[in-house]
Amino acid sequence: MFLRLLGVIIVALSLSRVLAGTKLNGVNIAGFDFGCETDGHCYHKGVTPPLLTSNGRKMDINRFQFYADGPGQMQHFVKKHGMNVFRLPVAWQFLVNYKVGGPLHTKNFGLYDDLVQACLKTGSYCMIDIHNYGRYDGEIVGQGGPTNQQFASLWWQLGSKYRKQKKVMMGLMNEPHDLDMDKWTTTVQKAVIAIRKAGATSQLILLPGTKYTSAKDFHKNCAPNLSKVKDLDGSVNKLIFDVHKYYDDGKGHCRTDLIDDVYRPLVKYLRKHHRKAFISETGGGSGYSKCIPSVCRGLKYIHQNADVFLGITGWSAGAFSSKTYDLTLTPDGSAKHGWKDQKILTQCFVPMWKTTTPRRPHKRVAELDAAIEEEDEILAPRDAIADPDPSPTLMLRLRTSMRSKIWSSQPDGPTGRARQLKEGKSNET
C-alpha cells in the first residue's frame, strides 16, 4: 500500500511540473530599445529607460525625457500572476555608446544593468535582447555591416558580465530579416562560442532566424540552418529557437488560422528533431479587442504543447503607454497606488498559462527538458517520472487534486523558496 501511494505521489509531483503549460511565462519590459528602427538605426533621443531610479537616485531629467517603473511592474507581475521570466530589449548602440565594436559603456550599460538586477531580484529569469533586427545603422551583421567578430565581442562582454547568473538568458538578436541564412548561421555560431568562452556556460541562448524570426515557416527557412549551431561540447540542449508571432495585422484585422497555418507545422518539426522554441514576442493588441479570442486560442495551443515550447513573453509592458499603444501590456497605476492590468493579459496570457493542460506528457520528458541544467528548479528531475504515460483518468484526478501544489512548486512558490534556502541561494541575484 505504501509503495503504491508513493508511486502516485511521485507521478503527481512530476505532473505538477507540466500541468500548467510552459515552464516560463512573462512579458517584455521595453524602453531601452525605443528609437530603434527595423533597418538597425537606433537613436539615443528615443531611449526611454523603464526605471525611476538608478543607484538610489532619481533619473537624470536632463538626459532622458520619459521614464517608467519597470521594476515595479515586474514585482507586480510576479506577485499577482506568478510570472517568472522577463525579456529586456536594448539597443546595441546604447550599450556601446554608439561605437560599434567598442567596449560596454560604463554609464549606459550601468543603467541597463539596473533593470537586469531588478529583474533578477524578483527571482525571475531575465532575457537580454539586442533589439537591432540583425543590423547596425542600416547594415547587416556579418553581411557587409559590423563583422562577426564585432558582434561576438559584444556578446563576449555580456557573457562575461553575467557568467555567474544562471537566470540570465541570452537573446542574441531581435527579429533579423532579409538576410542570407547560411551567413547568419555563421554569425550566430560565433556569438554562441563567444558567450561560452566568456564563462557563461550554464545560460540558455536564444537563436533567431530571418523573416523577423516569424514562427510561420520557421521550420522551413530557419530551423534547418540554426540546427547546425552547436555549443562548445557539441550539444544543443541549451540552444533554444527564438520565434515571434502576432495575431493582428496592425490594421485592425485579426488572424484566426495561426494554429494550423503556423504553430502546428512548427510543433511537428520541434518534436521530430527534439528541439525547443521560445515565443519571445506575441500579442494581438489590447486596442483590438476582437483579437482577444484569437490570442487566447493561440496561447492555449502553445501551452498544450509545452513539451516543445519552453516559454512565452508577451509584447509588451515597460515604457509603453498603458492607454495609447495598441499592443500594450503595461498596467495602469503605480507601485504606490496599485496596478490595473490590461484586459488581454487577464483574459488570455495569465489564464491560458494557469489552466491549460498539455495534451499529453511526452514519453521522453527528461530528454526534452534538458534545455536547462537538470538541477534547475523549473524542470522536473530526470528520475521523477514513475509512469511516463499516465492514463487520462489519472491525469484528470491529479489535475484537480494537485492544483494548489502546482504553483507552490514554481521557483517563487513555497517549495521553490524552501529549496533556495536549503541550497543557500535565497540571496542570489
Among 37, 139, 175, 375, the one annotated catalytic: 175
| 88 phi/psi in degrees, rounded to 5 | -120, 85
| pLDDT of 155 | 99
**Is 332 in contact with 47 (CB distance < 8 Å)?**
no
Catalytic residue status for 281: yes
| pLDDT of 271 | 98
**Could you state, in chain order, the average pLDDT of each consecutive group of 10 residues for the chain (429 residues)?**
46 43 97 98 94 83 75 98 98 98 97 98 98 98 98 98 98 98 98 98 98 97 97 98 90 85 97 98 77 93 97 97 92 96 95 83 43 41 32 32 34 38 35
| pLDDT of 195 | 98
Closest-CA residue to 125 (of 158, 156, 161, 171): 171
**Is 225 in contact with 209 (CB distance < 8 Å)?**
yes
| pLDDT of 62 | 58
| pLDDT of 55 | 78
| pLDDT of 65 | 61
Here the cell at position 178 is 532579409
| pLDDT of 58 | 80
What does the alpha-carbon distance between residue 187 and residue 211 come to, in Å, rounded to a whole number? 16
Among 139, 281, 374, 428, the one annotated catalytic: 281
What does the alpha-carbon distance between residue 425 and residue 423 come to, in Å, rounded to a whole number? 5
Here the cell at position 317 is 509592458
pTM of the predicted structure, to 2 decimals:
0.81
